């Protein structure tokens, strides 16, 4: 049964927190203010012609940019694309063009970050104008000053980027949730010098992810699959502590929990774990401690599909070990998981249930994702590969929130320190009014 645990939904949106530990755009008047806006439009780019292959993040941030422009702020956008040494480490000209098309407002791209060209263009900004500066990772310090050291952001705040641009601006809007686990100058340096406000993407991510984990409608369940078993074990620990009712496992994550429960999954699946999961023995120990503490709240498959020379063959857990690799959850498990999904109020999904790239073994993932997509409750999907899988299957429509974050979403769900959130918190204390 779905119970509403104290907050109302309006048109599918969940209401906002009353007391936030960070500022948002609603806390300040924007008209005439010079705003540095950090977004994360790091996208798949064709390295041969620089064409953007997936504009999801650009579309998501476009709403914040449009709102700020319509509020008559003067906007300086900072963003990154890829990392030095990679083929898609390109400038942001095409990103700015794409965003400009989406919001139907001109965005001037400046092939400079804090040099003369950039400063000159900033000095000419009128209310509502938008500039996009170049890939901040072209700046050496952005790469080098990336550690959260001595519990402060001093190095980042003293970087040339921040030293040069901060005196020109009134407010810093941080919308880069997808990079919130990073500690680079453009992400955490400005918060020391002026009020740092969460942009709309950031605000929505924190609302949805935060509430799904701790206060969404009951029962709250999480589906954790895929091959990032170490992350998933940490996420399970945090989720169960926060009161998520059931953690349903699939993929390699399920295999790790099966091993932790003392079930021999067979050589091929064991070998996969030994080869691909660093420190796997410790991860299995951690998983065992969780099973000891939380028992049946961690749910693993009772039957599975093995890959017998390309054929899908269903077997029960009692029939293990097997000499074939486990490539999907079994049909009984699928029915059980779908029942738990249908009866849940909040569902968080991160990772596939099996090797869904192979049609034979896509059933578990596809049917589970379909039932999440058809669910009317609070459905939240992790970013990166999980979001891509929902997208490929055409199942994004019904989901209430799909995270823009890959690594940052995982870090948030595993309760790791997020330098950007910490910087925003401190900024509110420093500049609180
Ligand atoms: C991402 O795509 O996950 C973010 O933009 C962060 O990128 P990074 O892992 O290169 O810091």
pLDDT digits (tens, 9 = 90+) for 307-341: 999 999 999 999 999 999 999 999 999 999 999 99
pLDDT band at 18 (very low <50, low <70, confident <90, very high): low
Cα 154 to ligand 1 centroid, rounded to whole Å: 22
The DSSP string of 366-431 is HHHHHHHHT--SEEEE-STHHHHHHHHTT--TT-SEE-S-SHHHHHHHTT---HHHHHHHHHHHHH
Give the pLDDT of residue 19. Answer: 66
Pairing of strands 326-329, 303-308: antiparallel
Cα 82 to ligand 1 centroid, rounded to whole Å: 7
CA distances, 257 to each of 116, 156, 227, 290, 399 (Å): 57, 41, 12, 9, 28
Cβ neighbours of residue 14 under 8 Å, at least 6 residues apart? 7, 207, 208, 211, 378, 400
Q: Is the peptide bond before 321 cis (omega within 30 degrees of 0)?
A: yes
pLDDT digits (tens, 9 = 90+) for 30-82: 999 999 999 999 999 998 888 999 999 999 999 999 999 999 999 999 999 99
pTM: 0.93
Identify the CATH assignment for 23-205+417-431 out of 2.60.40.10, 3.40.830.10, 3.30.9.10, 3.40.50.1260: 3.40.50.1260
Number of Cα atoms under 13 Å in the Cβ half of residue 173: 30
Cα 271 to ligand 1 centroid, rounded to whole Å: 30
Cα 318 to ligand 1 centroid, rounded to whole Å: 42
Q: Name which of 192, 210, 173, 211 is nearest 34 in CA terms.
A: 173
Q: Whose CA is nearest to atom 2 of ligand 1?
A: 42
Vertex 420 angle, CA 113 and 57, to 5°: 65
Give the pLDDT of residue 11. Answer: 32
CA distance 166 to 274: 49
Domain with CATH 3.40.50.1260 in the chain: 23-205+417-431, 218-376
pLDDT for residue 7 is more than 60: no
CA distance 382 to 404: 8
Q: Which two tokens mark 124?
A: 């000419």
pLDDT band at 10 (very low <50, low <70, confident <90, very high): very low
CB 145 within 8 A of CB 159: yes
Number of Cα atoms under 13 Å in the Cβ half of residue 287: 28
Q: Which two tokens mark 193?
A: 């010098």
Cβ neighbours of residue 159 under 8 Å, at least 6 residues apart? 141, 142, 145, 185, 189
Q: Report the atom number in ligand 1 closest to the C-alpha of 383.
A: 3
Residue 24 φ then ψ, to 5°: -125, 180
Helix (H, G, I), strand (E, B) or coil at 38: strand
**Which of 38, 39, 40 most suits a substitution to test ligand 1, by most atoms within 8 Å of the C-beta?**
40
When pLDDT is averaged across residues 395-402 and rounded to a whole number, the result is 94
**Which of 146, 177, 406, 412 most suits a substitution to test ligand 1, by most atoms within 8 Å of the C-beta?**
406
Vertex 420 angle, CA 414 and 426, to 5°: 115
Q: Whose CA is nearest to atom 7 of ligand 1?
A: 179
Cα 385 to ligand 1 centroid, rounded to whole Å: 13
Q: What CATH number has the domain spanning 218-376?
A: 3.40.50.1260
CA distance 368 to 134: 41
**Which of 56, 403, 407, 411 most suits a substitution to test ligand 1, by most atoms within 8 Å of the C-beta?**
407
CB 139 within 8 A of CB 112: no
Tell me the pLDDT of the chain averaged across its residues. Answer: 94
Q: Report the atom number in ligand 1 closest to the C-alpha of 176.
A: 5
Q: Report the atom number in ligand 1 closest to the C-alpha of 42.
A: 5
CA distance 266 to 417: 37
Lining ligand 1 with CB less than 6 A are 40, 42, 83, 178-179, 182, 406-407
Cα 303 to ligand 1 centroid, rounded to whole Å: 36
Q: Which two tokens mark 145?
A: 């000053």
Give the pLDDT of residue 384. Answer: 86
């Amino acid at each position: 049964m779905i119970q509403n645990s104290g907050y109302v939904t309006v048109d599918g949106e969940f209401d906002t927190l009353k007391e936030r530990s960070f500022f948002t755009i609603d806390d300040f008047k924007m008209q005439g203010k010079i705003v540095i806006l950090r977004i994360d439009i790091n996208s798949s780019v064709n390295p041969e012609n620089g064409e953007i292959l997936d504009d999801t993040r650009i579309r998501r941030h476009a709403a914040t940019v449009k709102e700020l422009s319509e509020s008559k702020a003067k906007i300086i956008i900072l963003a990154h694309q890829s990392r030095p040494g990679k083929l898609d480490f390109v400038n942001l000209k095409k990103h700015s063009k794409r965003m400009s098309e989406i919001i139907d407002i001109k965005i001037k791209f400046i092939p400079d970050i804090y040099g003369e060209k950039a400063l000159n263009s900033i000095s000419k900004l009128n209310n509502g104008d938008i500039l996009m500066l170049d890939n901040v990772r072209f700046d050496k310090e952005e790469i080098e000053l990336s550690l959260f050291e001595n519990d402060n952001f001093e190095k980042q705040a003293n970087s040339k980027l921040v030293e040069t641009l901060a005196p020109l601006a009134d407010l810093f809007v941080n919308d880069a949730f997808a990079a919130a686990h990073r500690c680079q100058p453009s992400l955490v340096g400005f918060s020391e010098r002026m009020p740092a406000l969460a942009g709309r993407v950031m605000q929505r991510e924190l609302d949805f992810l935060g509430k799904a984990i701790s206060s969404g409608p009951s029962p709250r369940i999480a589906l954790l699959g895929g091959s990032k078993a170490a992350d998933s074990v940490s996420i399970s620990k945090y989720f169960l502590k926060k009161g998520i009712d059931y953690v349903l496992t699939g993929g390699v994550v399920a295999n790790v929990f099966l091993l932790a429960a003392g079930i021999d999954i067979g050589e091929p699946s064991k070998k996969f774990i030994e080869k691909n999961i660093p420190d796997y023995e410790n991860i299995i120990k951690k998983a065992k401690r969780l099973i000891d503490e939380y028992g049946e709240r961690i749910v693993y498959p009772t039957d599975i599909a093995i890959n017998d020379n390309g054929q899908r063959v269903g077997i029960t857990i009692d029939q293990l070990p097997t000499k074939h690799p486990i490539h999907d959850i079994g049909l009984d498990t699928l029915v059980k998981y779908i029942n738990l999904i249908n009866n849940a109020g909040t569902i968080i999904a991160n990772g596939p249930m099996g090797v869904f790239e192979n049609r034979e073994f896509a059933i578990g993932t596809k049917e589970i994702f379909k039932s999440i997509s058809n669910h009317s409750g609070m459905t939240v999907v992790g970013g990166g590969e999980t979001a891509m899988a929902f997208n490929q299957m055409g199942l994004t429509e019904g989901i209430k929130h799909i995270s823009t974050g890959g690594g940052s979403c995982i870090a948030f769900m595993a309760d790791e320190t997020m330098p950007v959130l910490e910087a925003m918190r401190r900024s509110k204390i420093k500049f609180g009014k």
